[in-house]
Amino acid sequence: MGLAQMTGPGEPGGGASAIRVLVMGVSGSGKSTLAASLSAALGAVFIEGDDHHSASSQDKMRSGIALNDDDRMPWLIRLGTLAASQTTNVVLSCSALKTAYRSALRAMIPGLKIVFLELDLQTAHRRVSVRSNHTFPATLVANQFATLESPAGEPGVLSLSATDCEADQLRAAMHWLTPT
């Protein structure tokens, strides 16, 4: 399935005031941790992207084989459809490494805001190396950086350092998403 097939208009979910946010970054950036905290703070549905990979994609990653567009597009469609179907605030955790992936998610999830957790290769590799019982091995971290197209400069993006403490990240994201 090509990228163009996913970038058509999606069905909006929820009301105009619902907050829709994607927490993205490379593996090891802490996107799942921040997304879970953010969803709790917003009273939002939390969608953990890793929970929605196909069995074949999980097998590839466990074997140290990087996913390609053909592997990722059905996954992104599942995530976009699930997020768009929510009738309340929603926080999605997903790597969304390429501009085309983010564009596709934006087309499916109107009003999507993006929090990008920036991290350097060495720190990401160290963090992923110490994780246990995770589908994503440290051998694939370099591929994530090779694939990453930074969202800096895209509209509706907040960039945060992945090395800042979680409380600071959460405070900055909440201030950005819910200004007073």
- Return the CATH number at 131: 3.40.50.300
Dist. CA 34–CA 173, nearest whole Å: 9
**Helices vs. strands in the chain: H and E counts, helices first:** 7, 5
Q: Are 159 and 23 in contact (CB under 8 A)?
A: no
Residue 124 belongs to some domain of the structure: yes
Q: State yes or no: pLDDT of 12 exceeds 50.
A: no
Instruction: State the residue range of the domain holding 61.
Output: 19-177
Tell me which residue of 89, 86, 79, 80 sits closest to 9, measured CA to CA.
80
Residue 138 belongs to some domain of the structure: yes
Dist. CA 71–CA 28, nearest whole Å: 20
Residue 14 belongs to some domain of the structure: no
Distance in Å from the first CA to the final CA of the chain: 42
Q: Token pair for residue 169? A: 């990240």
Q: How far is CA 40 from CA 43, 51, 91, 98, 168, in A?
A: 5, 18, 9, 27, 15
Residue 25 belongs to some domain of the structure: yes
pLDDT tens per residue, range 35-88: 999 999 999 999 999 899 888 888 888 888 888 999 999 999 999 999 999 999
Rounded mean pLDDT, 157-176: 97
The domain tally of the chain equals 1
Residue 39 belongs to some domain of the structure: yes
Tell me the pTM.
0.87
Phi/psi for 28 (5° steps) reads 90, 0
Least confident of 13-22, 80-89, 166-175: 13-22
pLDDT tens per residue, range 101-132: 999 999 999 999 999 999 999 999 999 888 76
